[in-house]
Chains A and B, each alone.
Chain A
Amino acid sequence: MVNPVLLIAVPLGLAFALPLFGLISKRIVKYIPVVAFIFNFALALRLIPDVLKQAIVVEIGGFPPPFGINLVAGPVGVLFSALIALAGLLVAVYALAYITEGPKEKYHMLYLLLLAGATGVVLTGDIFNLFVFFEILCISSYALVAYIGDRAGIESAIKYLIQGAVGSSFLLIGIGLLYGLFGTLNMADLAQQIESASSISVFVPMVLIITGLGVEAAIFPLNAWLPDAHSSAPSSISAILSGIAIEVGLYAVVRVLFTIFGATNMFMFFAFLGVLTLLIGEMCAFAQNNIKRMLAYSSIGQMGLIVFAMAIATSYALTGGLFQLVSHTLGKGLLFLTAGYMIYRSGSMEISAFEGMGKRMPLTSLAFTIGAFSLVGLPPFVGFPSKFLIVRAALAKEEILFTVLIGLVLLGTVIEGAYFFRVVQVLYFKKANGNSERKDAPVAGLIPMVVFVAFILVMGIYPQLVIEVLNSAASELLHRMEYIRSVLG
């Protein structure tokens, strides 16, 4: 039996030890994240079969759950850890060649810590502990957004930081209120004591927590930091922010809503909010000329879709939402990674600067195209089965309202298709002006792209690969009582 706490402890320990390695040799530093996430990914995969049978509850320090902090490695937690480790691994490989300037050692440390924080968030079973890991995640992303140190990076980092700090303060107030009300911080214990989220004294902490977490999850009015931060960060970090950070934020929102509060009466509101987020994200993306801002707004749109799916709250919908989450991580990660090298090559983030990239960087462009197709939801890529499940879940509700909402969602898809296909056209069907020498991304950059593409294709063609995990993850989210029982016994 492997202990899931290693998923957090090992990256943290390696991050702490990284300066010591740096003292020995500057060159091995950048391989440490790779090692850490290979370990994590293997561990997460190793855990999956066990977890599908029974969630593993780890008591930190040996104290029983309401009294000590516990980790809950259920299907959701392990799914997310595996996803984080996978994306982390690929982006770490990418960064081997991509990060050539600046305080590299600090980059790798922050990177490790960011993902360790993300893993902590998804595994923990204690709400204050969630807050702490959330802060690790947020603070390291503030610092990483500013990593380049140019005007845009610093500006967006400070904006991100202020909004994030306000959000975490709200979160902390909410946690304080909850503790005052129920005298416990354990999520399962809280869930056991909260029968209804409607009474105002429970509602206020709930919305405080949702707002606090929602800032990171990029729910509609709380997401103003996102396009700036995602577009100004180094591309490898953008990939992680888009692919992992906001997903983890969304995970936290979902966990709070489903497990702690069981706020079924809020779901309709969140369905609307999701659709609104989706439409606004996609429409803003449509109006962009800057590739990274476009991708960032598209992330907002995707988050909206996932929120919508989660808010339908049937087992199909949750499976679909989680699947969409996976496919968004893969697709958006790939897009940001490829965009990174295309920006590097063309020296500009304007889409028009990518003219003729199909000739100049054929493999990179191909990877970009596949990522874009997958995000739009075209078969045979992974975006298709996930959208399929979501639409099916919405229609299975057999309510006119949901049919209309899914219509709006798919309208968003049309807009998304419009701007992604525009970029694809620019890549392939415009003549390059000037330098058209063929020079692809370096091997360390291509490997993660190829792996991403492989995952996108394999999961798109054979969704059964992950569907079992997703199903049990969905049922974990859906059945509060199961969760409470598995933690508190």
Chain B
Amino acid sequence: MGISNAFDFLQNHVYYIGSFGLIFIGLFIMLVKHNLIKVIIGLSILETGVNLFLVSVGYISKGTAPIFSKSAMEAAPMVDPVPQALVLTAIVIGVAVLALALSLAIRLYHHYGVLDLRRIKELRW
């Protein structure tokens, strides 16, 4: 009983756990770490988690990839293609943000010589 329950639970939730685990770990990194690069790593983990979540929302049990190849035409239900399309977009947006963030980090390092965010607060109040 217990085992099969656990199995069911895992079956139903493992992707959610994985994705939100990533999201929260990423968020945690952003909240507590002082190093800018580390914060950006957190952001990238957070984005990966979000993407994973989006795709798992679109999953259909025992579905196949939404591609009509010549062999497997309409054999099984297909998974929802929409979240996949969204995630494609989200991945590209994520990489855009990360690249910009890292270039800013490099420039910031030129100016300040540190990446410790506690010491980069000339602008405040």
Q: Which A residues are closer than 8 A to B by beta carbons?
A: 128, 132, 135, 139, 142-143, 146, 149-152, 154-159, 161-162, 165-166, 168-169, 172-173, 175-177, 179-180, 185, 227-228, 231-232, 284, 287
Say whether A161 contacts B108, CB under 8 Å. Answer: no
* B79 at interface by CB-CB < 8 Å: no
Q: Give the docked Cα–Cα distance between A308 and B63 (Å).
A: 48
Say whether B83 contacts A135, CB under 8 Å. Answer: no
* B62 at interface by CB-CB < 8 Å: no
Q: Give the docked Cα–Cα distance between A177 and B83 (Å).
A: 11
User: From residue A165, how far is it (CB to closest CB) to chain B in Å?
Assistant: 5
Q: List 13 A-B contacts (CB under 8 A).
A: A132-B89, A135-B97, A143-B100, A157-B104, A166-B30, A169-B47, A169-B50, A173-B50, A176-B50, A176-B86, A179-B86, A232-B123, A284-B125
Say whether B43 contacts A162, CB under 8 Å. Answer: yes
User: From residue A7, how far is it (CB to closest CB) to chain B in Å?
Assistant: 21
Say whether B86 contacts A128, CB under 8 Å. Answer: yes
Residue of B nearest to A156 (CB): B123
Say whether B100 contacts A151, CB under 8 Å. Answer: no
Q: Give the docked Cα–Cα distance between A154 and B82 (Å).
A: 37
Chain A residue numbers with a CB within 8 Å of B121 are 155
Q: Which of B73-107 contact A (CB under 8 A)?
A: 82-83, 86, 89-90, 93, 96-97, 100-101, 104-105, 107
Q: Which B residues are closer than 8 A to A by beta carbons?
A: 23, 27, 30, 36, 39-40, 43, 46-47, 50, 53-54, 57-58, 82-83, 86, 89-90, 93, 96-97, 100-101, 104-105, 107-108, 111-112, 120-125
Say whether B123 contacts A155, CB under 8 Å. Answer: yes
User: From residue A247, how far is it (CB to closest CB) to chain B in Å?
Assistant: 22
Contact of A161 (CB < 8 Å), options: B100, B111, B122, B123: B100
Chain A residue numbers with a CB within 8 Å of B120 are 155
Say whether A149 contacts B107, CB under 8 Å. Answer: yes
Q: Give the docked Cα–Cα distance between A455 and B102 (Å).
A: 41
Chain B residue numbers with a CB within 8 Å of A176 are 50, 53-54, 57, 83, 86
User: From residue B39, how far is it (CB to closest CB) to chain A in Å?
Assistant: 6
Contact of B107 (CB < 8 Å), options: A132, A146, A156, A185: A146
Say whether A165 contacts B83, CB under 8 Å. Answer: no
Q: Give the docked Cα–Cα distance between A231 and B124 (Å).
A: 11
Contact of B108 (CB < 8 Å), options: A158, A166, A169, A175: A158
Interface centre among A146, A169, A179, A287 (most CB of B within 10 A): A169
Say whether A155 contacts B122, CB under 8 Å. Answer: yes
Q: Give the docked Cα–Cα distance between A461 and B122 (Å).
A: 43
Say whether B57 contacts A180, CB under 8 Å. Answer: yes
Contact of B122 (CB < 8 Å), options: A135, A151, A185: A151
User: From residue B92, how far is it (CB to closest CB) to chain A in Å?
Assistant: 10
